[in-house]
Structure 1
């Protein structure tokens, strides 16, 4: 099997290609982002500080000058701490999908209390959320936890609009988290609505879905900008974890996305068992390509199979109401992709020039432009 000579992505990764030296296109994509944002350089830090000054200036006279999504995980917790260090006045926002781990909930409390930051939480009805999760499981698609991502985005936009601020700071790092393969891990509001319409039983009343009109309102009318400060600075997840633990008594939860139980189930049970997909390669490939871990060590970790947690499986079955027999039938049954359902993907592709301008203006993340507006025939 052909494997990238620099990271650990192999020929099974969607839309991968290799140059004469065996380096994959995702490594080059990461290099392009590093060059564009001057990541970890004095120029990158200077560009970020210019944004920080602009956010402060535009937020004068307001209670808050930015909004930051907080999950209790490493990146978002560190992002909130850095924002306060930079002299910003953030409002922390949390979307509670009712699948939080106790560790994540306690981390949120510890960090916001110690920093003196206000927390706004939108809690979805748990039965409604379970019905949406059940719908995605019945739809046989890999993106089981994607409703949480869309709901968080909509919740952040609503909070920013209500507070009268124009900036959302996201704790995402392509250096630490990697580049997800094209045509995978897709989600949008129409995708959620279509799957829930087909398989759901309860009406969506409290779930904050984001349709296309709502998305355009936030980026074109309200012009709320999304800034990813960790794209500009030298960021280490290990250093961040140590800092958070020492400063706030923050606790690690065992791995990427594992602070929330539906995400933990998706990445450590559902996708590996049903689809044979191990998304640990995102972070492991990132660590190898950026010199944070020897490539052979990353490969060794990736080649060690994930051991599904039986307690997590039992919890999922209890929450969603599937019997062990039904669960096994679905897990070993049909596999589908997002293309089997209605989405906004073709519309995003047609509007690619518009989204390029919006990405340059930081009204949508550059990663959205790269992934969502590229044609993915056959995906």
Structure 2
């Protein structure tokens, strides 16, 4: 039998074997999480801890008229803070569904937007065109930060060597830093983020962990080039932006009702937006990460998050989620070849990397112990919208993996 990393028939056989094994796991009665999900537990009725947390968040962020009213109050605060300035709010853009809809919402509420994009040099043509088309219709300005591609490739190659499931976190951290950098540069206090726990859930620790110290730790061990253009999101910078700049992170989709299928149709008609095949797949390295790296090496299928979120929201029948997860993620062989060419890996070297012993973030230096000690402080920061609630819930809690 061939390698599951290089031979598609071997991979399909392995996938089918995994599906048979998963049939014997304990699963949540509501969502698609099972007993192999990190840090999971179930109540007496069989409801998982993640669904219970989701229920708690829905009390705090109920949507409907209450959610819209709460969001409208925030919009008024944003307009007051923006008086005398060129922009009211920053919206991070990727060309994806959520960020495009954030632009639409901002325009609908009469906000003056600076769109901000972090270019990790892996954008798809569709994503670039989506950004261009939407901003042209809305007449919003764009500020882009581009990282040096050789330096960025070196960071990614370091994470291949580290052999943790967090290969893609440099983009998430760099985007967060870029949004803050733009807010600092242009004197903007509010930032819209496109995350929706109602349609995409929150990734369990053990599937994904991220912080800037973690990236530095991995890169210091395995990297070869200095990190000169990678955006700085050190804890000292985070404190500055949080406490002195008072940058507020707002997630409109936590307040507003969000039917993703209807939104896709609307933005396609209104802005010429095009679908790119799946959640987070508007970026090539992210697509590789979701459709190849995570499922094949770590048996992590990130579709579970989005499908579970939509099931909890009543936007997808559980049976449909089960059926779709039984099929392997759609994979683009040309993308696989592109990754190997760009990182100068032959198949032998790539397979060696994929066969390295699996590690977790706990085997590297991170801010996690400090985040846990400062949990009460971060609770206050989340209450003030200075950090996202998801950061407080995930990163300051004890991790049992």
Q: Would you say same fold, with TM above 0.5?
A: yes
Aligned residues, how many? 377
Alignment partner of 2:360 out of 315, 334, 337: 337
Report how far residue 48 of structure 1 moved.
0.2
| Partner Cα distance (1:259, 1:308) in 2 | 14
CA displacement, residues 288-327 of structure 1 (integer Å, 9 cap, x when unaligned): 1221111111011111122532211111111111111100
Indicate conservation of the 8 Å contact 1:271/1:278, yes or no.
yes
Question: Partner of 2:143: helix, strand, or coil?
Answer: strand
Please name the residue that 1:24 is paired with.
48
Give structure 1 stretches of 5+ with no counterpart.
Answer: none
Q: What stretches of structure 2 of length at least 5 have no aligned partner? A: 1-24
- Once the two structures are superposed, what CA deviation does each residue of 1:148-177 show, in whole Å capped at 9, x if it has no partner? 111111110010111111100111111111
2:269 partner SS: helix
CA distance in 2, matches of 1:265, 1:97: 14
Deviation track 1:249-293 (CA, whole Å, cap 9, x = no partner) reads 110000011000111011100011111111110011112122111
Residue of structure 2 equivalent to 1:283: 306
* 1:10 corresponding residue in structure 2: 34
Residues in 2 aligned to 1:253 and 1:107: alpha-carbon distance in whole angstroms: 10
2:93 to 55, 70, 76: 70
Deviations 1:122-146 (A, max 9, x none): 0011111111111111110111110
Q: What TM-score results when the alignment is normalised by the length of structure 1?
A: 0.98
User: Is the contact between residue 31 and residue 51 of structure 2 (CA under 8 Å) also seen in structure 1?
Assistant: yes
More moved, 81-90 vs 300-309: 300-309
SS of the residue corresponding to residue 91 of structure 2 reads strand
Instruction: Specify the alignment match of 1:38 in structure 2.
Output: 62
Taking structure 2 as the reference length, what is the TM-score of the superposition?
0.92
2: CA distance between counterparts of 1:66 and 1:289? 30
CA contact (8 A) 1:183 1:371 kept: no
- Of residues 129-138 and 364-373 in structure 1, the stretch that sits farther from structure 2 once superposed is 129-138
Q: CA contact under 8 A between 1:287 and 1:298: conserved in structure 2?
A: no
- Residue aligned with 2:156, SS: helix
RMSD of equivalent CA atoms: 1.0
Contact 2:371 2:396 in 1 (8 A): yes
Conservation of the 8 A alpha-carbon contact between 2:37 and 2:204: yes
Within 1, Cα distance between the matches of 2:233 and 2:84?
30
Preserved CA contact (<8 Å) 1:52 1:86? yes
Q: Does 1:269 align with 2:321?
A: no
Name which of 129, 134, 153 aligns with 2:152. Answer: 129
